[in-house]
Amino acid sequence: MNRILLILLLLPNLLWGQNQYWAQQYGSRSALLGGAVVAGASDNSALYYNPALLSYIENGHLSVSANAYGFEYAKLRNGVGTGLDVVSFQTLIYPQIISGMINLKKAPKFKLAYGILTRFNNRMKLNLLTEQDIEITPLGAGTEYYKSSFVYELSNIEQWGALSLGYQISDKFAVGISQFVSYLNNDSRLSIERSVDLNSDSVSFVAQQSFSSNSIINHVGLLYKIGFSFQSNGHKLGITATSPNIKIWGRANARDAQNDYHMDQLAAGEPVPFPAEETFIVESQNRKLDANYKLPWSFALGYEYEFKSGTRIMFASEVFLPVKRYTVFLDDRAVNIRPVETYQGATIDSVLFKTNELQLVVNAAIGVEQPINEKFSFLAGFRTDFNSTDFDSERNVSASINTTFWNSYHFSTGITWKRTNSKMALGFNYTLGESAAQNQPISFSGPISAQSLLGSTEKNFEPVVHGFSVIVGYTYYLPK
């Protein structure tokens, strides 16, 4: 049964969805500044960047920021074989953050904020169908008709609810804390099929092999962020620490299956018309698996300086500590090889499992805010968004078709304008994601019967992604 294990173990971690930390920013101003506001967030987004900064905001307000329109174009050069590219194009429309802040009149040094933010929103759809006439096996007379298909779909959404408290110790010092409740929904599906028509004077049949894997993961967790702020003479310094998430509840619904039809005839060399062993099915499914999802400790440092002209320049960096390999979900029940009567109850070890591990990541951002006049300001920002996957690991190389396994670079710019009791923002963000050449996760190029109708993989897989989003925001200031 080596052929079974070849496919079932080929892509064990392919479907996991999130391996970047700075893909999303919150609040229109903060997003346009590249998220470099750990020292100087001046609106409700401080509940995420640094809750200590809430204490400096003079009056309560309500705000909504969103990616009003966006798209992500990903091209996987040689993604499923040399010369076989796959492409994904997805539109992205979702709220960044909906939040509010309340002044506590009886305790003016305290500020209370609340909000809901979209921590991650990653979607991808890839599909490719190939048809070719190629010599796959010496059993046939000349070339054979070969057909293959590859389908991959991912929807990964994580929402955080936040409750934050900031306290102003003095004119220069402040501290704060945020509590987040996280909800993750990860829905991933993979299907790989290939078949060959074999015709000769002595034999005629179709050999086919298909593999499918899908999982739905739901997870609820709790995490905290503490922040510290120092401000003096145009200088601002911010420091934060964010805890790992504490699991409250997690559940996975997962299924893996492989079907083989007439594959034994290709491998045997002397096909027998219809032996019982010509077909087998291996399928594992469980709707009630315990699921786990971990986030690392992270520590952020930010600095901002305001010149006498009103120009502000700001920097921020955050280090995310590694997380050792852990089990996302596991079904350790043995799997029957079907038909059960044919294989006399033979089983293989369960392959219905998913693991994850996170590498050390350090991201950095820079932002500039330039007043144009009393009402309008120009903003620009840049940030890195490195992935937490170790590409030196054979296990993780095969997982690289997910865009969050690549390093990304974000460029943003826009304007804000003040009104009597409100503030608006409009701008855009451009994302470039790329990776060095990697091993192909799978290859339909040059398939042969000895490799289950697959070809040999090469190290020429070069993915690239382009993303664009329009950022809009509105803040209404409540009466003091």
Global pTM reads: 0.89
Token duo for residue 213: 């894997």
How many domains is the chain built from? 1
| Residue partners of 385: CB distance under 8 A and separation at least 6 | 20, 21, 22, 23, 363, 407, 408, 409, 410, 431
**362 or 17, which is more confident?**
362
In this predicted structure, what is the pLDDT of residue 362?
97
Cα 451 to chain centroid distance, Å, stands at: 31
Closest CA to 109 of 63, 62, 58: 58
In this predicted structure, what is the pLDDT of residue 135?
85
User: Per-residue pLDDT tens for 264-317?
Assistant: 777 555 444 434 456 778 888 888 999 999 999 999 999 999 999 999 999 999
What residues make up the domain containing 286?
Answer: 2-477
**pLDDT at position 150 over 50:** yes
Token duo for residue 347: 């089983």
| SS3 at position 450 | helix
| SS3 at position 296 | coil
Q: Do residues 9 and 80 touch, judged by C-beta distance below 8 A?
A: no
In this predicted structure, what is the pLDDT of residue 14?
46
**pLDDT at position 424 over 70:** yes
| SS3 at position 126 | strand
Mean pLDDT of the 184-208 span: 86
User: Per-residue pLDDT tens for 357-392?
Assistant: 888 999 999 999 999 998 999 999 999 999 887 554
In this predicted structure, what is the pLDDT of residue 332?
87
**pLDDT at position 12 over 60:** no
Task: Work out the number of other CB atoms within 10 angstroms of the CB of residue 183.
Answer: 16
117: confidence class by pLDDT, cuts 50, 70, 90:
very high
Token duo for residue 340: 């059960």
- What CATH number does the domain containing 235 carry? 2.40.160.60
In this predicted structure, what is the pLDDT of residue 19?
75
116: confidence class by pLDDT, cuts 50, 70, 90:
very high
Q: Which of 358-372, 440-454, 456-470 has the lowest mean pLDDT?
A: 440-454
Mean pLDDT of the 216-234 span: 97
